Structure 1
Amino acid sequence: MALYLYLHFPSLQCDSLADAETAGLPVAVVDAQHRIVQLNTAAAQQGVKLDMGLASAAALCHKLHLLPYQQHQQQAVLMSIAQQLYQLSADIALDEPDGLYLRLCNMLQLYQGLAGYRAALMAALALLPYQYYYASAATPLAAKCLALQRLNLLTEDCTGTDAALKRSPLSFTELEPDIQQQLQRLGIDSLGRLLALSTAELARRFDNRLVSYLGRLRGEFFHALDYIRPGPGFSRYLELLYDISDMAVLSAPLSKLLQQLQQQLERSNTLCHQLTLRLYCRDSETKSYSVGSAQGEYRAANWLKLCQLQLESHRLTAPVYGLQLEVTQFAPQQAQSDDLFQPQQGNVSALQLVSLLQARLGRNAVSGLSLQNQHLPEQASSRPLPLLQTRSLTGALLQRPAFILPQPRPLQEAVEISSGPERLCPDGWQLAAQRDYFIGRNSKGQWLWLYRTAQQQWFVHGLFS
C-alpha cells in the first residue's frame, strides 16, 4: 500500500534567523504586498497573525522586527532540510516554497515498521531549528491537505485519514480561488461534499483542473514527484538578526552552522579537510575565507577553533548581515586504534598542530624541511609540504645546514672550528669563486656553516638546527 508523508514548514526564513527565538524578539517576514507571511512565537504572542497588514501588525507590536521575504533564501533552506533528511528517506521531493513530500512505503521495512521510522524522523527533526507540521496519507495531495491543517498525523490507518480528509475545508486544497468560489456558491465547502459528487457531473460543470486535482487526490491519476538526488557536499546560509561589526561576535552564529555540519558528517560517518566561509557585508563585497584541516575534522568545536584563529587576523570594513558555510568534498573517517604499548600521546596530533599554525599564520607560512641531493649550498635544502615523508640522505649531505641565510653575512665573532674544510666552486672551477666550508660553534652554542674565500674573507652561510 502506498504511503506518503508531507512536512510543512510555515516559517522557514523566520526560523533560520540567528538567535531570534533565544532572544525572545518578535520577528515577522513581509511580502511585496506588505502582508505578514511568516512570524515567530514571540510575534504571535503579541497578537500578530498571518496575512495581517503591516500597519495592523506594527500597531499591535511596536517592537516587531520586519524582514522582506526572500524566495531564494527560502528555497536554499528547504533544500538543506531535504539533504539532511535524505539519510532517513530515499525518496524526497521538494514542494516549494515550504513543503517536502516523503514516500514511506519503501522505507518501513528498513525501520521495522512505522513506529521505528517515526522515532528516527522525530529525532532528526528535533535537531533542526524549524517549526513543522506533518500528516500521512495514501496520496501526496491528501497528505499535504492534512498537514496544512496541522493535524500531525502519522498512521497507516486509511479509515482515520479518509475521515479527516472529508472534514477538510476547501481552503486547504490546491484548488484555484475561482474554483473554490464557484463550489461555495453551490453550497460545497468541504472535501467530503465535493468527493460525494460524481466525476461526470463535475466534468460537465467545471473545467479539467478540478477533475485532475480530485483524480490525483484519490490516487486515480498518476502524480509524478521529482525526487531529489543530493550530491556530496554541505551548504548552509544563516541570516543575522542584527548586523555584526566585530569578528569575535561572529563565533556564536558560526557555531550554529558548524553544529549542522557536524550532524551531517556524523550521519554519513565522514569528515572534511576544507571549508569555505563567506561573510555577506552590508554595502560591501562578500568576503570569503578558506579554512583547512590537514588531518580532517568532523567536530564543530575543532572547526570553530580553526575559523577563529584565521578570522583574528582580519578586520571587518563593513557590518555582516549573513553567513554561508560550504563544503564541497567529504572523506571517509579512518578507524583509529590505540595501542596499549605506545607511549602516551598529546592532546593535539601533528596534523592538528599544522592546521592550527596554518590558520593562525597563513598556509604559505608553514612548511616542512628536507635535504636535497645537491652540492651547492643554495640547493641543499627545500621546503616541502608539512609532515611530508622524504627519503633519508647519508654521508656528506648530512653536513649541510637546515637553514640557509638569504645572503651570506660577514663573520664578526670568534668561533671554534669543528670540521672542514670542504671546497665548493659554484661557478665552475674558477679560483676566484672557490669557497672552503667549515662547521664552527660560536660562544652562544650555535653551530654555524662558514666559508672562507680565496681572499681569506670569512662569511656565515647557514645555521644547523
Structure 2
Amino acid sequence: MDVMLWLACHFPLLALEVPPPAPGVACVVADNTVQLACPLARAAGIQPGMRLASARALVDPLQVRHVVEADRAQALADLAPRLARITSYITLDPAGGAVVGEVDGSRRLFGGLAGVRRVVTAAFAGARVTWHPAVAPTPAAAALLATHRPGTVVRATTDLAHVLGPLPAGVLRLGDRAELLLRRIGVRTVAEALALPRAGLARRLGLPAITALEQLLGERPDPRPHWTAPERFQRAASWDYPLQTLEALTFPLQRLVGDLAVHLAYRGERATAWTLTLSGEDLPPHAVAVAAAAGAGDLRQLLTLTLDRLGSQPWPGPVTDVALTLDATRAAPGTATMFGATGDEHAAALLDRLRARLGDAAVYSLVNAADHRPEHAQRRITTALGPTPPPGTRHRPTWLLPSPQPWRGRPGDLLAGPERVESGWWDADARRDYYIARGGAGETLWVYQDLRTAAWFVHGWFG
C-alpha cells in the first residue's frame, strides 16, 4: 500500500539569516553565550559557545540577535510560499525550525523525489537561507530527520524505528519532564525509548508524550494546521547599524523582493504598484512608490524597477528599517498576444523602467481632446501601452512648435488649404485659416493667418 510522504526543510541558521545581516557587519545569535555566528564573525575568531562579552571584544561593531519564537514562526511563514511550488499541503513546525509539505503526489508530477529536490532547490535559491531536507512517511519524522540527519529519505513507516533509533533520546521533544525521567532511567537513544513498554511510559510520561511517539512512527494520525498564504503581502527588515548607501541596501532588498515574486507566482498575479518604506533613527518614514503599468512578476524585473526608482531620488539618509508592501495587482497573462509571446510585455516593461528612472511625468502618451485649437487638441496621460487613437481625417502635422513663430512667405508658397479654426471664446479666442506651405529650404510647413490681425505664423512642421 502506498504511504504518504512528507518533505521537511529545516533552517538551522534562520535567526542569523532572516533578515539578512547588514553588509560588512559581523552578526551573531546569542543570549549570554554565542549560539550562531556569521562567516564574518567566525573569520574574526568568534565561535559558538563563546561568551558574548568575549565576542564583543573581538569584533566591533557586532550585531547581536536573540531567538524570538514569534519571529521564527513568522520567518517560516514567509518561506512557506516557496515550498508551495510543489505542494498544496504545507504545515509549519516553529519548534523545530522547519517547513513541512506533503509530496507524495508531487513526486509523480516531477519525476520522482530527485525531481522534487531539484524544484525545491531552485525555489529556495533566491531566499539566501541555509536549509536541510529530509523525506519520511510522517511529518514529525521528516522534521526530526531534517534537523538531525539531513538528506535522509525513508519511504516506509516500518523503517522509521530503525532509522531514528541511533539518535539521542533528547531529540524526541517529549517535554522537559519526560526528558528528565528518561535520563534518570538510563535511556540514551531513541531506540531505547521505543523499546520501553508503552503502558509504563504512559503512566510515567503522560498520554501526550505517548501520542507524540505514536505520531512519529505513523501509528496514530497527526493532524496539523494547514498553512495558507496571506491575502496581503508585507515584509520588513531592520538592522542595528544603519545602511549608508543604496548599494548597501541592494543585498537585503533582494530577499524582500524575492519573497514578493514568490507571493505573486503563488497567487497567479503580477504587481502593478508596490511601496518601499525606508526609515532610520533620524529618518522619518520615507515612502517610495513603484509602479508597473503592465505588471511585473519575476524577481529581476521587480528588483530592477525598485532600484531604478530608488536611484532616481536623492538618498534619504542612513536606513535601519525597510518595509515592502504590495499595493495593487493584476492577473498574470496566460496566453500570448498577436504580436508574439512576449513582444507587448517587453515594450511595457521598457516603459516601466523609463518611468522608474525618469519619473512618471517624463513618459506619457497623447490622446485627443475636445478642442479644435491645435495647441489644445491633445493632452498627455501616463498610461501603459494601449490601442492607438484613430487618426483624424484632417491633414495636420505631429510636430507643433511650442509657440507660433512669424512667417514671411509668399502666396505662391501655399500648397493646400485653408482649414478654418474658430474656437476658444471662453479663454483665448482663436480665428485662424491654416495652410500647408513650402519653406525656403524645401521643408513642408503648417502655417496660418490670424483673421483678427491678418498676420502670418508658422505653427508646425511635417516630417
Given the superposition, is the C-alpha separation of residues 102 and 262 from structure 1 closer, same or farther in structure 2, using an over 3 Å criterion?
A: closer
Given the superposition, is the C-alpha separation of residues 453 and 280 from structure 1 closer, same or farther in structure 2, using an over 3 Å criterion?
A: same
2:173 corresponding residue in structure 1: 174
Q: How far apart, CA to CA, are the structure 2 residues paired with 1:365 and 1:130?
A: 39
CA contact (8 A) 1:114 1:155 kept: no
1:95 corresponding residue in structure 2: 93
Name stretches of at least 5 consecutive residues in structure 1 with no aligned partner.
340-345
Given the superposition, is the C-alpha separation of residues 133 and 71 from structure 1 closer, same or farther in structure 2, using an over 3 Å criterion?
A: same
Q: Shift in Å at residue 86 of structure 1?
A: 0.9
Q: Shift in Å at residue 226 of structure 1?
A: 1.6
Given the alignment of the two structures, is residue 28 of structure 1 paired with residue 28 of structure 2, yes or no?
A: yes
Q: Shift in Å at residue 14 of structure 1?
A: 1.6
CA contact (8 A) 1:366 1:386 kept: no
TM-score of the superposition, structure 2-length normalised?
0.77
CA contact (8 A) 2:445 2:461 kept: yes
Q: After superposition, what is the alpha-carbon deviation per residue over 1:252-273, rounded to whole angstroms, capped at 9, x for unaligned?
A: 5445655666678789997654
Q: After superposition, what is the alpha-carbon deviation per residue over 1:94-133, rounded to whole angstroms, capped at 9, x for unaligned?
A: 1126211222333333334334434443454455422223
Q: How far apart, CA to CA, are the structure 2 residues paired with 1:67 and 1:353?
A: 42
Q: Shift in Å at residue 179 of structure 1?
A: 2.8
Given the alignment of the two structures, is residue 437 of structure 1 paired with residue 418 of structure 2, yes or no?
A: no
Name stretches of at least 5 consecutive residues in structure 2 with no aligned partner.
none
1:332 corresponding residue in structure 2: 333
Q: Shift in Å at residue 9 of structure 1?
A: 0.7
Secondary structure of the equivalent of 1:84?
Answer: helix
> What are the within-5 Å matches in structure 2 for residues 36-115 of structure 1?
36-43=34-41, 46=45, 48-49=47-48, 53-58=51-56, 61-62=58-59, 65-69=62-66, 74-96=72-94, 98-115=97-114
Counterpart code for 1:66: Q
Given the superposition, is the C-alpha separation of residues 421 and 334 from structure 1 closer, same or farther in structure 2, using an over 3 Å criterion?
A: closer
Q: How far apart, CA to CA, are the structure 2 residues paired with 1:302 and 1:134?
A: 30
> What are the within-5 Å matches in structure 2 for residues 49-448 of structure 1?
49=48, 53-58=51-56, 61-62=58-59, 65-69=62-66, 74-96=72-94, 98-126=97-125, 128-158=127-157, 161-230=160-229, 237=236, 243-255=242-254, 272-297=271-296, 300-325=299-324, 327=326, 329=329, 331-332=332-333, 334-335=335-336, 350-372=347-369, 374-376=371-373, 380-384=377-381, 385=383, 387-396=385-394, 398-399=395-396, 403=400, 414=408, 418=414, 419-420=417-418, 422=420, 424-427=422-425, 435-439=431-435, 447=445
Q: Shift in Å at residue 312 of structure 1?
A: 2.9
CA RMSD of aligned residues (A): 4.3
Given the alignment of the two structures, is residue 7 of structure 1 paired with residue 3 of structure 2, yes or no?
A: no
Given the superposition, is the C-alpha separation of residues 452 and 38 from structure 1 closer, same or farther in structure 2, using an over 3 Å criterion?
A: same
Q: Shift in Å at residue 195 of structure 1?
A: 2.3
Q: How far apart, CA to CA, are the structure 1 residues paired with 2:256 and 2:159?
A: 40
Given the superposition, is the C-alpha separation of residues 415 and 308 from structure 1 closer, same or farther in structure 2, using an over 3 Å criterion?
A: farther
Counterpart code for 1:192: A
Q: How far apart, CA to CA, are the structure 1 residues paired with 2:93 and 2:296?
A: 34
TM-score of the superposition, structure 1-length normalised?
0.76
Q: Shift in Å at residue 28 of structure 1?
A: 0.7
Q: Shift in Å at residue 412 of structure 1?
A: 5.2
Counterpart code for 1:279: L
Q: How far apart, CA to CA, are the structure 1 residues paired with 2:161 and 2:239?
A: 43
Q: How far apart, CA to CA, are the structure 1 residues paired with 2:9 and 2:167?
A: 17
Secondary structure of the equivalent of 1:77?
Answer: helix
CA contact (8 A) 1:270 1:333 kept: no
Q: How far apart, CA to CA, are the structure 1 residues paired with 2:303 and 2:133?
A: 34
Counterpart code for 1:166: G
Counterpart code for 1:173: L
Q: How far apart, CA to CA, are the structure 2 residues paired with 1:241 and 1:446?
A: 66
Q: How far apart, CA to CA, are the structure 1 residues paired with 2:70 and 2:454?
A: 72
Q: Shift in Å at residue 244 of structure 1?
A: 2.4
Q: How far apart, CA to CA, are the structure 1 residues paired with 2:4 and 2:142?
A: 12
Q: How far apart, CA to CA, are the structure 2 residues paired with 1:228 and 1:140?
A: 14
Q: Which stretch of structure 1 is more off in the superposition, 288-297 or 194-203?
A: 288-297
Q: How far apart, CA to CA, are the structure 2 residues paired with 1:210 and 1:301?
A: 48
Given the superposition, is the C-alpha separation of residues 336 and 178 from structure 1 closer, same or farther in structure 2, using an over 3 Å criterion?
A: same
Secondary structure of the equivalent of 2:353?
Answer: helix
Given the alignment of the two structures, is residue 452 of structure 1 paired with residue 450 of structure 2, yes or no?
A: yes
Q: Shift in Å at residue 34 of structure 1?
A: 4.1
Q: Shift in Å at residue 93 of structure 1?
A: 0.8
Q: How far apart, CA to CA, are the structure 2 residues paired with 1:178 and 1:108?
A: 40
Secondary structure of the equivalent of 1:420?
Answer: strand
Q: How far apart, CA to CA, are the structure 2 residues paired with 1:437 and 1:246?
A: 59
Q: How far apart, CA to CA, are the structure 2 residues paired with 1:246 and 1:42?
A: 20
Q: Shift in Å at residue 19 of structure 1?
A: 7.1
Q: After superposition, what is the alpha-carbon deviation per residue over 1:165-219, rounded to whole angstroms, capped at 9, x for unaligned?
A: 2333232122222332233223333333332233322333343332332333333
Given the superposition, is the C-alpha separation of residues 100 and 259 from structure 1 closer, same or farther in structure 2, using an over 3 Å criterion?
A: closer
Secondary structure of the equivalent of 1:286?
Answer: strand
Given the superposition, is the C-alpha separation of residues 461 and 351 from structure 1 closer, same or farther in structure 2, using an over 3 Å criterion?
A: farther
Aligned length: 446
Q: Percent of aligned positions with the same letter in both sequences?
A: 23
Given the superposition, is the C-alpha separation of residues 378 and 413 from structure 1 closer, same or farther in structure 2, using an over 3 Å criterion?
A: closer
CA contact (8 A) 2:257 2:303 kept: yes
Q: Shift in Å at residue 297 of structure 1?
A: 4.7
CA contact (8 A) 1:423 1:436 kept: yes
